[in-house]
Amino acid sequence: MDTHPIDMTRSATNASAAAAVSVRGVSKNYGQVEALRDLSLDFPRGQLTSLLGPSGCGKTTLLKIIAGLLQPTEGEVEVNGKPVTGPGPDRAFVFQDFALLPWATVLRNVAFGLELRGVRISEREAIAEQYIRNVGLAGFEKSYPHELSGGMRQRVGLARALAVDSEVLLMDEPFSAVDEQTRRKFQEDLLGLVAGENKTFLFVTHSIEEAVYVSDQIAILLPRPSRVSEVIRPSGLRTRNVSDIRRDPEYLDIVDRIWASLRSYVE
C-alpha cells in the first residue's frame, strides 16, 4: 500500500460558485445507439463534481466531450464561457489506466505535457519535480513505470495533470485500479487537492460511497440515453474532518438515498 501523503503547501483561495464548465443540451449518438440525450449540467468553479450512474450510462462519454476528445451530436460545452471545439490547455485528463509513457522516467512523464507546450527543459523539470514531491514520490524521479506499484503510477498521472496547471481536471475512475487501502488514501488526498489547488474537478466513479465522500456535487445519470436524474450537494460533509465523514449520519443517509435511486437500474 502507498502511504505517501500529498503535500498541501499551497494555501486555498475562496472559489467562486460560478460554473467553470457548462454543458447545454448535449446529445451523443454512436450510429443507432443514443448515448446521451439533451443533457445539461453546470460544474461549479473550484469544486469537485462526481458523475455517478449505472454502467454504460455515458459518464465517460460526457467526460470525453468536455475534454474535447469527442464531438457531441447536438448541444455545446463551454469552459469559462468559451465553446469547446477540441482539447485545450485549460483542461487536463487523468486516465483510469494511467496512460504513462513506458519508456520514460517519472520525471519525463510528469514533464511531458509541459514539453508538448514548448516549455524549456530546465523550467519544465523544475515544475515536474515540485509536483513529484507534492504527490509523495520524491526519490523516484529516475524510476520507470514498470518499477512502480499501481498506486505510485496513478500518482505520476495525477502529478502530470497538475503540472500543466490546467483550470479543469477530468478524472475517469482514477482510483479503480488500486487496492482498497490505497484508494481510501487517494480519496483523502483528493479532498486536500480540491481545497488547496483551487481547480475544478470532474470525477467519474461507479462507487456511491466514493462519490459522497469526495464530492461537492453529485450528478446522477440515468441509463442510456443518459440525462441528469438528480443533482445532490452534500454540503454539510465538507465542513467535517476527512476522518469523520464516513461516520457522519448525513453521509450514510445520502449513500442510502442514492442507492435507493439507482437500485432499480442494476441488473
Lowest mean pLDDT among 82-91, 125-134, 180-189, 208-217: 180-189
Lowest mean pLDDT among 70-74, 126-130, 145-149, 193-197: 193-197
In the prediction, which pLDDT does 232 show?
Answer: 92
Cβ neighbourhood burial of 238 (10 Å; 0-12, 13-18, 19+): middle
What distance in Å separates the CA atoms of residue 39 and residue 226, rounded to the nearest whole number? 7
Query: In Å, what is the CA distance from 257 to each residue of 21, 88, 129, 222, 245?
Result: 27, 37, 43, 15, 16
Average pLDDT over residues 243-260: 88
Q: Residue 91: name the closest of 66, 70, 58 by CA.
A: 66
The better pLDDT of the pair 26, 235 is held by 26
Average pLDDT over residues 122-145: 91
Q: Are 163 and 16 in contact (CB under 8 A)?
A: no
Q: What is the mean pLDDT of the chain?
A: 85
Reported as a pLDDT band with limits 50, 70 and 90, residue 267 is low
- Residue 217 clears pLDDT 60, i.e. is over it: yes
- Residue 31 clears pLDDT 50, i.e. is over it: yes
What distance in Å separates the CA atoms of residue 220 and residue 54, rounded to the nearest whole number? 9
Residues 6+ apart with CB under 8 A from 23: 39, 40, 41, 42, 43, 62, 65, 66, 75, 77
pLDDT digit string (tens) for 14-24?
334 577 899 99
% residues pLDDT > 90 (the chain): 44
What distance in Å separates the CA atoms of residue 57 and residue 222, rounded to the nearest whole number? 6
Average pLDDT over residues 250-258: 91
- Residue 173 clears pLDDT 70, i.e. is over it: yes
- Residue whose grid cell is 463534481: 49
- Bridge-based pairing state of the strands 82-83 and 228-232: unpaired
What distance in Å separates the CA atoms of residue 255 and residue 49, rounded to the nearest whole number? 16
Reported as a pLDDT band with limits 50, 70 and 90, residue 135 is confident
Average pLDDT over residues 194-218: 90
- Residue 11 clears pLDDT 60, i.e. is over it: no
In the prediction, which pLDDT does 4 show?
Answer: 47
Average pLDDT over residues 236-255: 82
What distance in Å separates the CA atoms of residue 49 and residue 59, rounded to the nearest whole number? 12
What distance in Å separates the CA atoms of residue 188 and residue 240, rounded to the nearest whole number? 12
Reported as a pLDDT band with limits 50, 70 and 90, residue 6 is very low
What distance in Å separates the CA atoms of residue 257 and residue 101, rounded to the nearest whole number? 41
pLDDT digit string (tens) for 35-91?
999 999 999 999 999 999 888 888 999 999 999 999 999 999 999 989 999 998 889
- Residue whose grid cell is 464561457: 81
Backbone angles phi, psi at 88, to 5 degrees: -155, 165
